[in-house]
Each structure stands twice: as C-alpha cells, then as structure tokens.
Structure 1
Amino acid sequence: MTHDTAEQLASYRKTIDNLDSALLHILAERFRCTELVGHLKAEQALPAIDNERERRQLDRLMSIASDVGLSGHFVEGLVTMIVGAVVERHREIAAKK
C-alpha cells in the first residue's frame, strides 16, 4: 500500500467513524422522543402499535431511500428493527402504568 493510499484510506475511515457517531446520536434522540410517545400512549391507554402510521412512515422512508440510492430491502429491515424496539418499549411502559 502506498503512502497516498494509506492516507486516503485513513481519511475515508475517519469520515465513516464520524458518520457512525452521528447516526448513534440521531438514534438516541429518536428513542428519547419515542419514549415520550410511549408515556403519552400509556397515559391515554392507546395501543403500542399504530399500523396506519407505521405503513405511512415506511412508505415515506422507502421513497426517500429510492431518492438517495439506498436499498429498499435494507431500509425496510432497518425501519422494522427500529419500530420493533420502540413498540417493545411502549409495551414495557404501558405494563408499568
């Protein structure tokens, strides 16, 4: 590996590391917000799942994924994982009320 290649690789990796950190901070903020939603739903005896909202959200995110060149399969899996964690947490909150 040449010196230039090593420098370029290190630069790319630093950018990736920064983006990974940003993703985690964004996810943490998202989960803080969904925590508030979970408490509100529990207080109002609303179900943990809103299928219509989830469908609209997935459709919206799939459209964005297409626009930015991300795999729809990847985005659907990611959204399913995130929503699954949120719903599980909402159920935990409701069980404590």
Structure 2
Amino acid sequence: MTTSDIDEGVRAELTRLRESIDNIDAAVVYMLAERFKCTQQVGHLKAEHRLPPADPAREARQIERLRQLAGSANLDPAFAEKLLNFIIAEVIRHHETIAESTPPTPGD
C-alpha cells in the first residue's frame, strides 16, 4: 500500500498526530537544553569548590523519583530509568570537563 492509497481521513489523522509528535519532540529538546543549562551551573559550582563531578546518592534518589513519576504517568519506569541514566552520564561528562578546565581557587 502506498501513501496515495490511504483514506483521506486516515491521512489527515496521521498528519495531525505526527504534528503533535513533532511539537512534543521540540518541547523535549528545549526542556533538555534548559536542564543542561542548570547542570552546567552545578558543574561550575562543583568545580570551584572541588566537589566530585558525580553524586551517586543524589543520582539514586533521582532515579527512584523518576521511576515513580513514570509509573504514575503510565510510562515504563525501566525506560525512564534508562533515559535518566543516559542524561546523568552526559552531565557527569560535562562536569568532568568543567573541572579539568577550572583553575583552583585561592587557598586550595
């Protein structure tokens, strides 16, 4: 079946749904960008005070929190955990890069 064989009503519904998906994808990208702006600030603060890039206790709390949120939103908690682990790994990588490029503060 080719796209020209699809009923016009079905085609219109597919278009409507795909436009919604495209809008949601854009919102997700912009939300991630905002999240990374905040985590960059955290990375600079950690680097200035010589704190480690990773915080396993916080990460564990965040994973549990996100799993609970996912469950209440009818989203697979395992998927939500995988997504957050991917994001956390990227944040830690950024924090390590920031720490490597931040000179020691006087008195350190």
TM-score by length of 2: 0.88
**What percent of counterpart residues are identical?**
41
For structure 1, which runs of at least 5 residues remain unmatched after alignment? none
Distance (Å, rounded) in 1 between the aligned partners of 2:25 and 2:67: 21
Letter in 1 for 2:82: G
Is 1:8 aligned to 2:9, yes or no?
A: no
The answer for the alignment partner of 1:29 in structure 2 is: 34
4+ runs of 1 displaced by more than 6 Å? none
The answer for the alignment partner of 2:69 in structure 1 is: 64
What is the CA RMSD across the aligned residues, in angstroms?
A: 0.5
Is 1:96 aligned to 2:104, yes or no?
A: no
State the aligned residue count.
Answer: 97
1:35-92 CA-partner distances (Å, limit 9, x unpaired): 0000000000000011111011111000000001111121111000000000000000
For structure 2, which runs of at least 5 residues remain unmatched after alignment? 1-5, 103-108
Bigger CA radius of gyration: 2
TM-score by length of 1: 0.98
Distance (Å, rounded) in 2 between the aligned partners of 1:41 and 1:22: 28
